[in-house]
A and B are shown apart, each in its own frame.
Chain A
Amino acid sequence: MATEKTDVVIVGVGAAGGILAAELGKAGMKVIGLERGPRRRTEDFAAQDELRYFQRQDLRPDPKRQPVTWRPNTGARATAIPTQSYGNQAGGGTVHYGAVSWRFHEDDFRVRSQTIERYGASAIPEDSSVIDWPVSYAELEPYYERAEYEIGVSGKAGNLQGKRIDGGNVFEAPRKRDYPLPALHVDQVGANFEAATRKLGYHPFSTPRAIISQPYNGRPACSYCGFCQGFGCHVGAKSSILVTKLVDADKTGNFKLITGAMCYRVNSDNSGRVTGVSYYGPDGSADNAIEAEIVIVAPFIYDAVRLLLLSKTDRFTTGLANSSGHLGRHLMSHLGTRGFAAFDDRHINVYMGPSAQKHTIDDFNADNFDHKSLGFIRGAQISAGPAGLEGGPIASAMNMPPPPGVPRWGAGYRDFFAKYYTRHLAMTGQTENLPYADQTIDLDPNIRDAWGLPAPRMTYDWRRPNEVKRVEFVNNKLLEIGRAMGATHVWTAPTGPGAPGSHHQGGVRMGGNPRESVVNKYAQSWDIPNLFVIGSANFPTSAGFNPTLTIQALAYMTADAIVNRYRKSPGPLV
């Protein structure tokens, strides 16, 4: 048995874990990071191979070795989901993500209060578990700024200290500083979306992305190759944790990364403290342990929940740090409604330029529009990009159902795809998903992973009245925008069978008190002060925006709290 001692152990060095590793290391704390996947290098991403990275998902978990299961309700049998969208290496999902980097709106942090103030309590669906976040936008603003500047985000401010700026997102919450890098170039997807949405009176802008538009911190600017979503960046222009904070962490001299390490238990004693973790080593050894003063659990939400469930004790019989009973509950995902526009009179060349969610309107997101007569609350980020979020022909063919009247195969399909692959664009309505307490993650009793651990099991069905109405509303907006582009064909994709979409969130909810949440706003367990569980698992509500920059801002805030307060006086931070 190999046992090491350290100040801090971090399980999963992705969007949150990478930041904590660097910041705690800088403060002189000894940090060990456990990562179940490998640590890759920019040189490893030279091959822009769509089959390998997009279709066969080389940077994501193998669903056969690391299954995650789903069932629509407790009466149904769970089966392994075929595609997992989170990361499986040092840097986590930031290695392969589309790098879309949002600050949430002010009202995204207070959905319950905002809804009641504007529409009355009856506007909140009875079965929804909507709460306000325990942290406000104003409190998080400096950490958003730090994330944008340290990691490198390109964009244009739309609200600089209260001054609205056309060309940026005029619906964004006020920011003290503009982005560190100018917005990325607009390609034909963006140009068409921009023209159509302006004509309709909306407010389009180039989506802010953690892809550097100019050389920054020793890294070269984006080359617009188009292989972002699903790929590692071949020049290191995508500001992944791999090329940003892990480099910082290395420089501290206080950080050690163990790759191939699968953590299976958070260890605790009877004094109400956690003592470290146990993990399967890269060599197959089972009994490796790390003893640490602070344990930070920072993998994707499935593994965060599963690890706490597996670490139950006599004191915490339903999962470690679960006195609230909320562990594994309130699972949310973004419901991705999709529309398509195909043109006879112009090429779009979707394979060029940073690929995912290139151009955006925020007019129908959050509470940016009046919901009074709509029958639902909250909204969607509406954006345009290639059908498959990256622009190669496999992704486009797999993700663009042909318009009504065109078959899915045969000469008719061939001619459709041959003509329109370079003449299409897709729109995504990335819709917020309210939390519901019965949408859960627990341990699958039947299916185990390659290490013999029970697979995380999701019980989830998004098709509730509020969500269905919102999806219909957003779909109609996509059709409206497609028509305003003057496209020859405009159509939407059929909605799915209730399975979770992208950006799964929740399960380790943060809140204002220990009864209704698992952790406080610093991602610190209410029950066990030297245990932190951080990531999008903490989100009380989902917003219509991609989660990563908010995960990163929360990680900076937690790092500050640990360095400046916890270290001096270990104990509850709230």
Chain B
Amino acid sequence: MSKHDEARRAFLVGAAVGAGAAAGAALIPDALAQTPQAQPAAATPPAHAHGTTASQGYGAWFNVDESATIQAFTERLMPGAPGKPGATDAGVLNYIDLALAGAYADQRDFYRRGIAQLEAYCQATYKEPFAKLSAARQDEVITALEQGKTTGFTWPSAQAFFNTLRTHTIEGMFADPVYGGNKDFAGWLLVGFPGAHPAFTPADMASKEAFAGGVLIGLQTQAKRS
């Protein structure tokens, strides 16, 4: 089991018992939070209908096909490169998966239908699922969504689906790791955010340089200290 999966389980357990996870906690099934049996689905995904490599970091809500689509889509929105962590590196899929299992449960149908419409469009246009398209083709599809130029979208509209995925990618990149994304502070390191600091000094604020005094601390560590 990867380090990521351990962190994920730690989150799920924490979410079920901790006050910090708020609305999401009650909605995560106990089985997921407490039993290791629920995890292998993520670690060893079943054979996939489209034959694509299944993604890491799902299982609370997405199925294997949906997770492949969202993984590929969010990675195009925020692509990784050497020294520049992207959506996959940051665990954006894991963030969205957990959010749909909890705080964003009311957006499940939005995602389910949005993904179905996206896949129908890709099948009609390219005869392949989104995740199997080349990066350039995927960008063409996303551009068409962003500009509302796709066919076959009713609800959610193509633009609404694009905008929501963009918003949730940003959240998964930059929200505190306690929510399942921003893995190992990948998003904060990408942009130079030092995390929540309880105080800054006048000298910090007078500096025109990048802030160098930061030690990245997440909410869970912060809570243990207090």
Task: Please give, as numbers and ranges, the residues of chain B lying within 8 Å of A346 by CB-CB distance.
Answer: 208
Contact of A409 with B209 at beta-carbon distance under 8 Å, contacts A46-B222, A50-B176, A351-B193 already known = no
Question: Which residues, 392 to 430 on A, are CB-close (under 8 Å) to B?
Answer: 392-394, 397-398, 408-411, 413-415, 417-418, 421-422
Task: Please give, as numbers and ranges, the residues of chain A lying within 8 Å of B173 by CB-CB distance.
Answer: 393, 397
Determine whether the beta carbon of A224 is less than 8 Å from that of B77. Answer: no
A187 within 8 A of B: yes
Determine whether the beta carbon of A422 is less than 8 Å from that of B174. Answer: no
Distance between B175 CB and nearest chain A CB, rounded to angstroms: 4
Determine whether the beta carbon of B179 is less than 8 Å from that of A418. Answer: no
Determine whether the beta carbon of B194 is less than 8 Å from that of A47. Answer: no
Determine whether the beta carbon of A56 is less than 8 Å from that of B208. Answer: no
CA distance A422 to B191 in the complex (A): 7
Task: Please give, as numbers and ranges, the residues of chain B lying within 8 Å of A49 by CB-CB distance.
Answer: 20, 176, 178, 196, 219
CA distance A392 to B197 in the complex (A): 11
Task: Please give, as numbers and ranges, the residues of chain B lying within 8 Å of A52 by CB-CB distance.
Answer: 22
B40 within 8 A of A: no
Determine whether the beta carbon of B226 is less than 8 Å from that of A46. Answer: yes
CA distance A130 to B20 in the complex (A): 48
CA distance A235 to B199 in the complex (A): 10
Determine whether the beta carbon of A185 is less than 8 Å from that of B191. Answer: no
A545 within 8 A of B: no
Q: Chain A interface (Cβ within 8 Å of chain B)?
A: 46-52, 55-56, 58, 64, 185-188, 191, 223-227, 234-235, 346-347, 349, 351-353, 392-394, 397-398, 408-411, 413-415, 417-418, 421-422
Determine whether the beta carbon of A185 is less than 8 Å from that of B205. Answer: yes
Interface membership of chain B positions 202-214, coded 1 if the CB is closer than 8 angstroms to chain A and 0 otherwise: 1011111111000
Determine whether the beta carbon of A187 is less than 8 Å from that of B174. Answer: no
Determine whether the beta carbon of A422 is less than 8 Å from that of B142. Answer: no
CA distance A234 to B219 in the complex (A): 14
CA distance A415 to B208 in the complex (A): 21
Determine whether the beta carbon of A408 is less than 8 Å from that of B196. Answer: no
Contact of A47 with B219 at beta-carbon distance under 8 Å, contacts A410-B76, A421-B191, A421-B193 already known = yes
B171 within 8 A of A: yes
Nearest-neighbor residue (CB-CB) of A343 within chain B? B208
Contact of A47 with B170 at beta-carbon distance under 8 Å, contacts A225-B200, A393-B193 already known = no
Task: Please give, as numbers and ranges, the residues of chain B lying within 8 Å of A422 by CB-CB distance.
Answer: 191-193, 210-211
How many residues from B make CB contacts under 8 Å with A?
Answer: 51
A/B pair count, beta carbons within 8 Å = 129
CA distance A55 to B172 in the complex (A): 12
CA distance A64 to B103 in the complex (A): 13
Interface membership of chain B positions 1-44, coded 1 if the CB is closer than 8 angstroms to chain A and 0 otherwise: 00000000000000000001010000000000000000000000
Determine whether the beta carbon of B190 is less than 8 Å from that of A418. Answer: yes
Task: Please give, as numbers and ranges, the residues of chain B lying within 8 Å of A223 by CB-CB distance.
Answer: 198-200
Contact among B106, B171, B223 for A394, CB-based, below 8 A: B171
Interface membership of chain B positions 77-91, coded 1 if the CB is closer than 8 angstroms to chain A and 0 otherwise: 111010010100000
Task: Please give, as numbers and ranges, the residues of chain A lying within 8 Å of B199 by CB-CB distance.
Answer: 223-225
Contact among A47, A185, A349, A353 for B20, CB-based, below 8 A: A47
Nearest-neighbor residue (CB-CB) of B162 within chain A? A409
Determine whether the beta carbon of A409 is less than 8 Å from that of B191. Answer: no
Nearest-neighbor residue (CB-CB) of B79 within chain A? A411
Question: Which residues, 156 to 190 on B, are CB-close (under 8 Å) to A?
Answer: 166-167, 169-171, 173-176, 178-179, 187-188, 190
Determine whether the beta carbon of B205 is less than 8 Å from that of A224. Answer: yes
Determine whether the beta carbon of B200 is less than 8 Å from that of A393. Answer: no
Nearest-neighbor residue (CB-CB) of A189 within chain B? B205
